[in-house]
Amino acid sequence: EALSIMNDKHPSNLITVVVPCYNEQDTITHFLNEIRPVLQSTGLRFEILFIDDGSEDASLQLLADEAEQDPQIKVLSLSRHFGKDAALTAGFDHASGDAVIPIDVDLQDPVELIPQMLEKWQAGADVVMARRIDRSAEGLLKRSTAALFYRLISTLSSSPIPRDVGD
């Protein structure tokens, strides 16, 4: 059964998926083919906000074409390449949803978890984080730098950030 809980905390139940893109012309169509049915299965209204981070390939044109055909797709184009964090921040600033889901266009994170995360949100959670449970496919350098990153962030942050959560 689709989620359709309405309450004062989430009056419109609009979900914004924020997707930073930099030279992703080869992955955008596949991403949309994977995420659309997942979002539609929730029964909630949604928008997919792509942030083109100064791509030098045909990403921006492909996104513009998709947005022209689908009113649920929005595109924000940055004037040059600022990096993923800046693109995410711009996306958060322009998101219209009651909930915002940041996700990479390369599908390194499973879109199938979105309905479960939305259930937690609708049950009252202000923040829902997904955590990697297995990093064994990553190299030693990647695992080591990730561990260092989470240790550093936990030290600097006033709020605890669990290890191996996504952004």
159 vs 39, which has greater pLDDT? 39
127 vs 99, which has greater pLDDT? 99
Q: Looking up tokens 């045909």, which residue turns up?
A: 58
16 pLDDT higher than 90 = yes
Question: pLDDT class for 93, splitting at 50, 70, 90?
Answer: very high
Instruction: Compute the distance between CA of residue 133 and CA of residue 135 in angstroms, rounded to an integer.
Output: 7
Find the mean pLDDT for residues 86-107. Answer: 95
For residue 119, report the phi and psi dihedrals to the nearest 5 degrees. -60, -45
What pLDDT is stored for residue 59 in this prediction? 98
110 vs 32, which has greater pLDDT? 32
120 vs 1, which has greater pLDDT? 120
CA distances from 157 to 30, 46, 104 (A): 36, 31, 24
- For β-strands 14-21 and 99-102, DSSP reports them as parallel
Find the mean pLDDT for residues 56-84. Answer: 97
| Edge-to-edge strand list for the sheet holding 45-52 | 73-77, 45-52, 14-21, 99-102
Number of residues in the chain: 167
Predicted model pTM: 0.78
Other beta carbons less than 10 A from residue 35's beta carbon: 21
Question: pLDDT class for 160, splitting at 50, 70, 90?
Answer: low
What pLDDT is stored for residue 90 in this prediction? 96
What pLDDT is stored for residue 44 in this prediction? 95
Instruction: Compute the distance between CA of residue 70 and CA of residue 91 in angstroms, rounded to an integer.
Output: 18
